[in-house]
């Protein structure tokens, strides 16, 4: 049977999904955590007390930790009340219409140091209330105290940015399916199991149970995508990358490529687009700034480069560290070393000579110096996992943070730099890694400080960073990412060799630079990447080739280009519930000269988030470009009604002749 599905809601091009085919192998299904516990009781018991177990729980039993005994929380004149009765837990607060309403708690999120509660303002749509319970301080508090989030604002708890189905659920449940209907703006989301269970990391267990029942008769080829033990993920001692990428799917700042949970074992860059070291997320030297979780930091570390994996430090089932305090570090960093890492320097890292602090003091702890801590969500301290040497010399030069200054905040950074240099010598000269870090940090700081075209010296410095193959791939990719700005075509030519880089991050960033190349050259350089093995690269290729004319005589190229465009459209369609995706759809439509589709996408964007002034501006400009000045002014008035005084709208209105 063949079936073609044509999807055209809000899209500039019709998208054809390939025909359904019937496989000759079985697709394994989920069996549930209790089935795993029969054989793996030790791991199951460890999991029951982990944060994974508490990732999402029902509002019952001992899962609810907040004060629901009539507690009240007041902010910006709005009072929220928390109740508990025979009907369950309820929260009374302002709904999307600005009127008080009582909402039953549908689910509980997390355990410590904070717990959030999910409400259902309309059927199927779960929203995360941004008043959370501080489980250590025993108080209600607001996660974003500096934001204005009145009803009708996209940042209100009922708005698109606090939606659970599309933005959070995938990492808090097992086997998430978003099931968003863009026509009705409705969700019918499902999951295999609530919370993060065994199969969220190991894959569906049906084939594994078949292997366990009869290992001698088990045939992996009868099942879709499983290994010899019947699982879609294989964790091996000699293959740390498979484990790291599996953890990274949730422990990273990234954009999911598909609407549903990628199957465990899916290569990271087929399931996600990782955020690079951009100024809004990281400091110029790669230290954490915004809430970026772990993977982007870890990729910068020497530990990652040497093959250290997550489970070397963390118990994957209990979620706890492998040892107390410095013990987790001295598994390797000691006089005895670790045979797995023969190049590791053996030394007494617990000596005062090394850490320069009183024994047993906070400053003597490994993490105090080598893992910067920043607090997110108000009460949640997170460690930077790039495991770096403090660089107060860079702090003095470009304003980046350093762990010395976090404790010695009564001293200038020049004091810390001088003290460190006195004990260990100039850090920047100690090894090539330190010198490379200083070079990339200065370069990224200069690029981030430039609002207009990049200076020739900055462009040259960025290319030098990209060319340093000893630097982490995420650092090299970030250097190329800065070059996506309008730069000379010669820069695109110089970046072309990185289209063949082994790292998908570097390849994808190199593709974005080719937008500065002439269309014919761009097409020629990117043709081979239309079939790149990683989805994050193919999506960049599609974006870079939007609007590029393809010779009609080249049928093979037409087919290849059609393939990446369909993949890109699916990527956008799967995130049609995001206002920012609607902006991207509008931009795609403009690149394809489909102004009607563009205006429809911008209209959908402001329907989801009325504060997107750029969407109002684009709609008005499109109307004006078609000679509809009156219509353009109406759009601007509509936008100003919900964004009073927005300068870009006021200025555009003033420029339009009555």
- Round to whole Å and give the CA distance between 523 and 380: 47
Report the candidate in 501, 502, 480 with the shortest Cα–Cα distance to residue 491.
Answer: 480
Token reading at 189: 């989301």
pLDDT at 553 over 90: no
Helical axes 519-526 vs 535-544, angle rounded to 10°: 160
- Round to whole Å and give the CA distance between 532 and 152: 43
Report the candidate in 647, 648, 616 with the shortest Cα–Cα distance to residue 631.
Answer: 616
pLDDT at 142: 97
Give the model confidence (pLDDT) of 52-81 as tens digits. 999 999 999 899 999 999 999 999 889 999
Token reading at 641: 């009604």
Report percent pLDDT > 90 for the chain: 89
pLDDT at 284 over 70: yes
Give the model confidence (pLDDT) of 5-14 as tens digits. 333 333 444 3
Q: Phi and psi for 103 in degrees, rounded to 5? A: -115, 130
Report the candidate in 381, 366, 369 with the shortest Cα–Cα distance to residue 326.
Answer: 366
Report the candidate in 297, 177, 290, 285 with the shortest Cα–Cα distance to residue 247.
Answer: 297
Residues 469/497, Cβ–Cβ less than 8 Å: no
pLDDT at 8: 38
C-alpha dihedral over 419, 423, 425, 431, to 10 degrees? -110
130: buried, middle or exposed (CB in 10 Å: 19+, 13-18, 0-12)? buried
Integer angstrom CA distances of residue 561 from 472, 517, 549, 550: 31, 18, 11, 9
Give the model confidence (pLDDT) of 127-154 as tens digits. 999 999 999 999 999 999 988 788 999 9
N-to-C CA span, the chain? 59
- Round to whole Å and give the CA distance between 460 and 488: 12
Range in 51-60, 80-89, 409-418, 552-561 the model is least confident about? 552-561
pLDDT at 359 over 80: yes
pLDDT at 432 over 80: no
- Round to whole Å and give the CA distance between 594 and 348: 66
Pairing of strands 173-174, 139-142: unpaired
Report the candidate in 269, 252, 277 with the shortest Cα–Cα distance to residue 479.
Answer: 277
Token reading at 436: 């490379």
Look-up: residue for tokens 């294989």? 234
- Round to whole Å and give the CA distance between 129 and 140: 12
For every residue of 10-69, DSSP letters joined together read T-SS-EEEPPP---SSBPP----HHHHHTT-HHHHHHHHTSTTTTSSB-SSTT---S--S
> Residues with Cβ < 8 Å from 418, sequence gap 6 or more?
none
Token reading at 278: 């951009």
CB count, 10 Å around CB of 26? Answer: 13
Cis peptide before 113 (omega within 30 of 0): yes
pLDDT at 551: 86
**3 state DSSP class of 239:** strand
Q: What is the mean pLDDT of residues 265-286?
A: 98
- Round to whole Å and give the CA distance between 211 and 228: 8
pLDDT at 21 over 70: no
Number of alpha helices (DSSP H) and beta strands (DSSP E) in the chain: 28, 19
pLDDT at 428: 60
pLDDT at 658: 72
* C-alpha angle 445-447-453 in degrees, rounded to nearest 5: 155
CA 135 to chain centre: 26
CA 266 to chain centre: 16
Quick one: three-class SS letters along 424-481?
A: HCCHHHCCHHHHHHHHHHHHHHHHHCCCCCCCHHHHHHHHHHHHCCCCCHHHHHHHHH
pLDDT at 23: 52
- Round to whole Å and give the CA distance between 579 and 585: 10
Q: What is the pTM of this model?
A: 0.94
pLDDT band at 351 (very low <50, low <70, confident <90, very high): very high
Largest CA distance in the chain: 82
Integer angstrom CA distances of residue 269 from 288, 325, 466, 495: 22, 34, 20, 21
pLDDT at 17: 42
For every residue of 584-628, DSSP letters joined together read HHHHHHHHTT-HHHHHHHHHHHHHH-TT-HHHHHHHHHHHHHTT-
> Residues with Cβ < 8 Å from 282, sequence gap 6 or more?
288, 289, 290, 292, 296
Handedness of CA 562, 563, 566, 572 (dihedral sign): negative
Average pLDDT over all residues of the chain: 93
pLDDT at 430: 58
564: buried, middle or exposed (CB in 10 Å: 19+, 13-18, 0-12)? buried
Q: What share of the chain is helix, strand, coil (3-state, %, to 5)?
A: 40, 15, 45
Full set of structural domains in the chain with CATH? 71-194 (no CATH), 272-424 (no CATH), 579-655 (1.25.40.10)
pLDDT at 12: 44
């Amino acid at each position: 049977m063949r079936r073609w599905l044509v999807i055209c809601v809000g899209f500039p091009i019709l998208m054809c999904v390939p025909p359904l085919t019937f496989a000759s192998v079985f697709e394994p299904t989920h069996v549930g955590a209790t089935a795993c516990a029969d054989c793996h009781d030790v791991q199951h018991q460890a999991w029951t007390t982990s944060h994974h177990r508490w990732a999402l729980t029902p509002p019952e039993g001992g899962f609810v930790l907040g004060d629901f005994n009539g507690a009240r929380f007041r902010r910006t004149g709005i009072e929220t009340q928390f109740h508990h009765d025979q009907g369950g837990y309820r929260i009374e607060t302002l709904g999307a219409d600005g009127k008080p309403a009582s909402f039953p708690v549908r689910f509980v999120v997390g355990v410590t140091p904070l717990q959030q509660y999910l409400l259902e303002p309309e059927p199927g749509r779960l929203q995360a209330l941004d008043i959370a319970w501080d489980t250590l301080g025993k108080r209600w508090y607001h996660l974003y105290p500096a934001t204005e989030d009145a009803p009708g604002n996209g940042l209100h708890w009922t708005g698109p940015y606090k939606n659970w189905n599309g933005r959070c659920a995938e990492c808090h449940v097992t086997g998430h399916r978003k099931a968003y209907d863009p026509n009705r703006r409705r969700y019918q989301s499902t999951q295999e199991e609530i919370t993060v269970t065994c199969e969220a990391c190991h894959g569906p267990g049906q084939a594994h149970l078949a292997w366990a029942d009869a290992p001698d008769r088990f045939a992996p080829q009868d099942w879709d995508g499983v290994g010899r033990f019947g699982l879609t993920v294989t964790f091996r001692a000699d293959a740390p990358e498979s484990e790291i990428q599996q953890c990274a799917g949730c422990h990273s700042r990234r954009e999911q490529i598909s609407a549903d949970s990628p199957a465990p074992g899916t290569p990271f860059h087929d399931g996600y687009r990782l955020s690079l070291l951009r100024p809004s997320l990281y400091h110029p030297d790669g230290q954490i700034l915004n809430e970026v979780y772990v993977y982007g930091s870890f990729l910068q570390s020497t530990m990652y480069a040497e093959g250290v994996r997550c489970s070397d430090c963390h118990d994957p089932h209990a979620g706890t560290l492998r040892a107390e305090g410095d013990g987790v570090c001295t598994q390797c960093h000691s006089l005895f070393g670790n045979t797995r890492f023969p190049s590791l320097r053996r030394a007494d890292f617990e000596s005062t000579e090394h850490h320069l602090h009183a024994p047993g003091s906070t400053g003597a702890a490994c993490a105090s110096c080598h893992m910067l801590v920043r607090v997110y969500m108000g009460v949640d301290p997170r460690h930077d996992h790039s495991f770096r040497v403090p660089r107060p010399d860079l702090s003095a030069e470009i304003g980046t943070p350093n762990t010395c200054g976090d404790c010695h905040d009564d001293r200038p950074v020049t004091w810390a730099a001088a003290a460190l240099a006195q004990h260990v010598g100039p850090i920047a000269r100690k090894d090539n890694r330190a010198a490379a870090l200083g070079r990339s940090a200065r370069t990224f700081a200069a690029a981030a400080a430039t609002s207009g075209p990049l200076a020739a010296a900055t462009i040259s410095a960025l290319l030098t960073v990209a060319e340093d193959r000893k630097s982490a791939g995420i650092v090299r990719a970030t250097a190329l990412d800065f070059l996506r700005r309008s730069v000379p075509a010669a820069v695109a030519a110089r970046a072309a060799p990185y289209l063949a880089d082994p790292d998908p991050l570097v390849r994808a960033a190199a593709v974005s630079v080719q937008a500065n190349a002439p269309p014919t050259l761009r097409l020629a350089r990117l043709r081979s990447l239309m079939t790149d093995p990683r989805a994050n690269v193919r999506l960049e290729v599609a974006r870079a080739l939007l609007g590029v004319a393809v010779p009609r005589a080249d049928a093979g190229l037409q087919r290849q280009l059609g393939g990446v465009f369909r993949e890109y459209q699916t990527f956008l369609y799967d995130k049609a519930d995001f206002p920012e995706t609607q902006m991207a759809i509008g931009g795609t439509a403009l690149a394809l000269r489909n102004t009607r589709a563009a205006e429809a996408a911008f209209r959908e964007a402001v329907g989801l988030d009325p504060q997107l002034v750029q969407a109002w501006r684009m709609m008005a400009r499109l109307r004006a470009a078609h000679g509809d000045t009156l219509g353009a002014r109406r759009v601007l008035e509509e936008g100003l009604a919900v964004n009073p005084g927005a300068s870009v709208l006021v200025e555009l209105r003033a420029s339009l002749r009555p």
